[in-house]
Amino acid sequence: MARHGQAGDTAPATEQAPRKLDPHLDRYAARTEGMTASEIRALFAVASRPEVVSLAGGMPNLAALPLESLATQLSDTIAEDGQVALQYGSAHGVPKLREQICEIMALENIQAHPDDVVITVGSQMGLDMVTRLFCDPGDVVIAEGPSYVGALGSFTAYQAEVVHVEMDDDGLVPSRLEEALTQTAKQGKRVKFLYTIPNFHNPAGVTLAVSRREQVLEICRRHGVLVIEDNPYGLLGFDGQVYQALRATDPDNVVYLGSFSKTFASGIRVGWVLAPHAVREKLVLAAESATLCPPTLNQLLVSRYLSTHDWMGQIKKFREIYRERRDAIISALEQHMPPGCSWTHPDGGFYVWVTVPEGVDTKAMLPRAVTARVAYASGTGFYADGLGSRQMRLSYCYPTPERLKEGVRRLAGVLESELELVQTFGTVHNRLTSGPESPSPDTA
């Protein structure tokens, strides 16, 4: 993986030939060292060709959105509220939308005051702000292993050290969390927060069991560690199940991140942070320095959509689309995958996490998969410590059920050839170094 050199690095140009291409190398701040571009982006250019079935991207399926009605709402927003919609607004966000967000969060039993909600440009900005507020270089962030690639990108950009905690089919394992916190304390390291995606995890596809939720909160309280609860998929349970948020039980120790990206439209870039009251003011200041204010037009459009459209009915349509695709990919995996592979069974969200037999390296295999006209996201991008080489994330949100089936059939063929190679030559080595990759819409 191409990495930036350290500022001031004077290694001979002959050994580091590509660096000559960047005349600004000596100027970068030290923290850019952790910012790495995804070398699989080049493959995504190929993967986006129509003949390739992409199981790689996490793009929401917008086919069910009522575009004509949204066009009318957008034009009404400008015609009726143009002087406000096209003007700067407050860094805190539009008050009416913050009230509506509190109503949405009430579905997860959260009692919140609109003053404690800060609107962001997607929840990715929330992640960036929270990390900026809490993490000094060398601080530790605890995250599930695997974890969301965009969050890992933020943590490394602020030079935080990520310690992963194992998950099983019921999500984060509390005893492992306890061990990780005890271990880091023994090492004299400072843990700033636990970053968790409790519902329909990206990339693992699992959900934190209800019986574990209070345990996780109690462990974090006892160790003096804040919880960042990232919940963009919470309303996308296939049976309509909505889990009580961690924030609902522990409002003083949980920062909640929400988003309209998966339940409405990701291109609108509206998300939010619900912070403990004491943190909220610093968040508004951080938001102000990042963007001055989130886009007013987009906030007013979301607000109008929520008040005039059957948005819960729309979410039900999304759930149906995703459930049909989940069923298609799971039955194709069952039908085609070679023995020794296993995968999670998501009850909501976008992703299946697949483990392949020993000896296969999913990152090394990816170019061969793309040649066979199927793409996936290899597992190492979802770990900060190089793990994940036997895993891959398959996204079922976007392709049609038929394309999903065809994609899995092709993937299984590639895996079978790979397994033959492994049997003949031993491990198929990972030829690329690993580490967290900067998020891109392709891998989000």
Ligand X SMILES: Cc1ncc(COP(=O)(O)O)c(C=O)c1O
Interface with ligand X (CB under 6 A): 58, 122-124, 148, 150, 197, 202, 230, 232, 259, 261, 266, 271, 444
Residue 89 or 203 with smaller CB distance to ligand X: 203
**Residue closer to ligand X (CB basis): 157 or 414:** 157
Phi, then psi, of 348 in degrees rounded to 5: -175, 175
Cα distance between residue 61 and residue 13, in whole Å: 46
Rounded CA separation 337/416 (Å): 8
Q: Which is nearer to ligand X, 36 or 124 (CB)?
A: 124
Min dist. Cβ of residue 59 to ligand X (A): 9
Cβ proximity to ligand X: between 325 and 373 the closer is: 325
Give min distance, CB of 202 to ligand X, in A: 4
**Nearer CB in complex with ligand X: 34/122:** 122
Distance CA 434, CA 147 (A): 14
Give the residue ranges of DSSP H helices in 163-295: 174-186, 210-222, 246-249, 277-291
Report CA 118 to chain centroid distance, whole Å: 20
At its nearest, how many Å lie between ligand X and the CB of residue 433? 24
| DSSP string for residues in 316-367 | HHHHHHHHHHHHHHHHHHHHHPPTT-EE---SBSSEEEEE--TT--HHHHHH
| Smallest separation, CB 124 to ligand X (Å) | 3
Give the residue with the Cβ less far from ligand X, 184 or 263: 263
Beta bridge partner(s), residue 374: 53
For residue 203, whether the previous peptide bond is cis, meaning omega lies within 30 degrees of 0, is yes
Looking at this protein, which amino acid is placed at residue 56? A
Judged on CB neighbours under 10 Å (0-12, 13-18, 19+), 324 is middle
Nearer to ligand X, 100 or 266 (CB): 266
In terms of CB distance, is 148 or 155 closer to ligand X?
148
Could you tell me the two tokens for 86?
């096209």
Q: Could you tell me the smallest distance in angstroms from the CB atom of residue 269 to ligand X?
A: 7
Q: How far is the CB of 136 from ligand X (least distance, A)?
A: 23
| Structure tokens, 344 | 């999670």
The burial of 11, by beta-carbon neighbours within 10 Å (0-12 exposed, 13-18 middle, 19 or more buried), is given as: exposed
Positive or negative, the CA dihedral 288, 293, 294, 299 is positive
Q: Considering beta carbons, is residue 117 or 419 the nearer one to ligand X?
A: 117
Nearer to ligand X, 197 or 394 (CB): 197
- Smallest gap from residue 120 Cβ to ligand X (A): 8
Q: How far is the CB of 316 from ligand X (least distance, A)?
A: 21
Dihedral Cα 359, 363, 369, 371, nearest 10 deg = -120
The letter for the amino acid at 109 is N
Nearest to 60 by CA among 304, 278, 325: 325
Minimum CB–partner distance for residue 125 and ligand X (Å): 7
Strands 351-355, 271-274: pairing kind: unpaired
Exposed, middle or buried by CB within 10 Å (0-12, 13-18, 19+), for 1?
Answer: middle
Residue nearest to ligand X (CB): 122
Q: Give, in order, the Cα–Cα distances in Å from 356 to each of 329, 365, 439.
A: 16, 11, 24
For ligand X, the closer of residues 56 and 337 by Cβ is 56
Residue 101 Cβ, how far from ligand X at the closest point, in Å?
13
Instruction: Specify the pairing of strand 254-259 against strand 271-274.
Output: antiparallel
Distance, in Å, from the CA atom of 47 to the CA atom of 442, rounded to the nearest integer, reads: 10
Distance of closest approach, residue 11 Cβ to ligand X, in angstroms: 36
